[in-house]
Structure 1
Amino acid sequence: MASLVLKMSVSLDGYVAPPDGSGDWIAAGGSEDALSWNVETVGNAGAHLMGAATYAAMAAHWPGDSGPFAKPMNEIPKVVFSDSLTSADWGETTIAVGDLTKNITRLKEERFDGYLLAHGGVRFARSLVATGLIDEYRLLVHPVVLGAGERIFRAPLAIEPVSTTVFSGGAVAHVFASHP
């Protein structure tokens, strides 16, 4: 059975997006070792899972990119969760329609050569958290304080620390397993 991993960038004060939705804060704490961790996380996925808004942004960007994320983002199968999207032109993309919990459960039972890696958008990430089906959280904490914005956790959640990696630029990766 495939495990479901949610990878998110988080500010020091716990936000995953500022009020204006900009993403420039994610560069804070960037370093080669943090980049390597991110590329490894993305590259070891058996499938990339995302909501429609994240899919639209990634599909517009990755096919024309040649950076270190381009190969795994373009070559690994993608599943976009949307009840309104009718077509997906980015290579190896499947559209999952309907109940999120049923779709995630079905995907976890399929055979993949790696974990299912969920990329947030905050709404998609919150929906995944609410299903209780996330096996692992990979939170990259950036050394920046946003002061306000969107959070993915809205209720208590039992998790267990698995590992912590401090990167040379100041970002810190925390990996947590869901507590059954």
Structure 2
Amino acid sequence: MLNNLQIDLEQLPKLENLSLKKIERSYIYILFFNISIGFIMPLIALIVSGILSNFEGWWSYFIMIVTAIIVVYALTLFYTFLSFPKRQYAIRENDMVYSEGLLFNKITTVPLVRIQHTEISRSFLERKLNLSTLKIYTAGATGSDLKIGGLTKDEAEKINSFLTAQINE
């Protein structure tokens, strides 16, 4: 016979008591760079289309659009700066936890028994700053279920070795 007893929620461990580790501070430069690229491309496209356009009132629209793009860009950088300290992670006996976000806080927990494989990637900027991104893949998903950027190379390799040992047990 199947037993399905109710669990007392007061007895569960509190996530607030979990000691999360912050990612490397220098990772914010990579985030700022990626955001900047995302805003520079539309500006270049706007400038090129305006130069090639025969529309006489183009400059007035151009100034409004550029102003809007710059305001959104500044707000995005500001939000990224404020939310950066919330990028934290922890490894427990049975799972890995990653937290991020300021207005919309997202906490992802991946059970170690569900991990299929891990991957360490390093972009050009990450290599220059001695950083790595750890990607964790679980069963049944098409992409990585957890991606932690901003780890030092040594830290990512240690976590990767630990997780690989857990997977191979």
**Greater helix share, structure number:** 2
Of structures 1 and 2, the one with the larger relative CO (CA 8 A, separation 6+) is 1
Instruction: Give the greater-gyration-radius structure (CA).
Output: 2
Q: Please indicate, yes or no, whether the TM-score normalized by the shorter chain is above 0.5.
A: no
TM-score, normalised via structure 2 length: 0.21
